[in-house]
Structure 1
Amino acid sequence: MNMKQWLQQVRVWLAALLLACSLPVLAMNLQQAMNALPNAKAQGLVGEQPNGYLGVVNASADAEQIAKLINDARRAEYARLAKENNIAVSDVEAMAGQKAIERTARGHYILLDGNWIQKR
């Protein structure tokens, strides 16, 4: 292997290393997901479900990550509320889902009878 080939190989390895190190930075955190939620709803990427959680209407990496992060936070909050009020988590989820659907803006998606529809 000559010097030119060796330098090219080193550059490739360095580029791969930099990419690998930057991947965790590309991951979204909960605050970023919360900030991205209104736009994701307006674009029809995610919508509210009767079970109190976000659902992915049109699959994309961002939509799935937003839904996962926010649903994880909701799940923890529902569990806390259920324990605090001595009721079942499923009851908290149902109440939260009903409120979320009621509060959903016109034109945003909600899940009704297993189908995504735009709220009118």
Structure 2
Amino acid sequence: MFLSQKYLQMVTFIGIVCFACLATSENTQNERSVAEAQLMHDKGKTIEEINRQRWLQGLLGSIHNPGRREVPLLKNFRRDLRRSNEDEQQRISSIRNMRNLQYKHAILAHSKKLMERDS
């Protein structure tokens, strides 16, 4: 009787372990299959979008595109931006030149005062 109870406990333990292993393996297989289904769904959507874009490009290829006229506007904007940057740099350099001249004038005036005081 002692051996049969120990044997029954061992079989029960092995059964529980096997059941737990099977239950966890089924969940991972289900998750994997859901992920694979989602991947295939996304891939199908991507292929449909690419086909739709090609179709639209084919249709629009023969139509006049007024957006091409906007390219010179962009170039003009860039040119104006460069000119404004150059104007700003010129303004800054002229301010620096004026400050340098004021500084030199102040030094000359100070040195004249010192020379007048010494003489």
Taking structure 2 as the reference length, the TM-score comes to 0.30
| Bigger strand fraction | 1
Whose radius of gyration is greater, 1 or 2? 2
| Bigger helix fraction | 2
Taking structure 1 as the reference length, the TM-score comes to 0.30
